[in-house]
Homo-oligomer: A and B are copies of this chain.
Amino acid sequence: MKNPIRVTVWNEYRHEKKNPKIAAIYPEGMHGAIAKYLRTQPGLEVRTATLDEPEHGLTDEVLKNTDVLTWWGHVAHKDVQDAIVEKIHARVMDGMGLIVLHSGHMCKIFRKLMGTGCMLKWREIGEKERLWVVKPGHPIVEGIGEYIEIEHTEMYGEHFDIPAPDDLIFISWFQGGEVFRSGCCFHRGCGKIFYFRPGHETYPIYHHPGVLRVLANAVRWAAPVESAKPVRGNFKPLEKVTTHG
């Protein structure tokens, strides 16, 4: 039997503490809602971590024992310590999966991994979104229909300043006239990264069955693969080389 996938659900966890409306939607924080769902899934071992814990809850011990890290942040990206960002980056290079959610597109670790600005167009009037599957047969859309509909949400529109994803899974349609690449897979180092757009703090999006299902699928897809570590540095030839004559 396979070992469980060890998931750490990270949340900035500021909105929920300050805004009663948001707290009403997510009484245990967005991380609480996500973790609660993931715990119902077989083969996952789930913990949470938040910004205001020591080391943001991401100690060396936690990171070392995390197979997949999910990340939600919005108003406090700058409060995340650079040293922790470096450690997360090293773990992704080493194979840890990373799921970046919604406003996490501007978090330090995602921008560092992408190498671009990661900005986009946005609007908050609670319009409708429909996420169309453009890569049927990909493990991230297991159990998903031809689209996921979200009745009221914040809009994110193109141009989204990311490298072309290695796999584009979802494209969003918005009522106000925009589109967005809303489910994007990237490989960096030995790690797999999935950016998934849904999830604004003022809408109950992490209670939506389709959104949650995608999260669980993405965790499984992003889990590390055991293989030899990449070899780099100065090495002797494997074959006999005669360079002079």
Contacts and interface: CB of A to CB of B under 8 A. Distances in A.
A237 B176 CA distance: 5
Contacts of A136: 159, 189-190, 227-230
A33 interface: no
A144 B132 CA distance: 26
A137 B231 contact: no
Interface in A128-163: 128, 130, 132-139, 141-146, 152, 155, 157-161, 163
Interface string A173-209: 1111111010000111111100000000000000000
A44 B112 CA distance: 34
Given A127-B243, A161-B93, A241-B127, A144 B228 contact: yes
A171 to B, nearest CB: 5
Contacts of A75: none
Given A115-B113, A241-B176, A161 B127 contact: no
A233 B122 contact: yes
Interface in A53-71: none
B241 A130 contact: no
A212 interface: no
B159 A133 contact: yes
Contacts of A241: 125, 127, 175-176
A77 B238 CA distance: 30
A6 to B, nearest CB: 17
Contacts of A133: 158-159, 227-228, 230
Given A164-B167, A225-B141, A238 B134 contact: no
A164 B161 CA distance: 18
A22 interface: no
Interface of A: 93, 95, 112-117, 119-123, 125-128, 130, 132-139, 141-146, 152, 155, 157-161, 163-164, 166-168, 171-179, 181, 186-192, 224-239, 241, 243-244
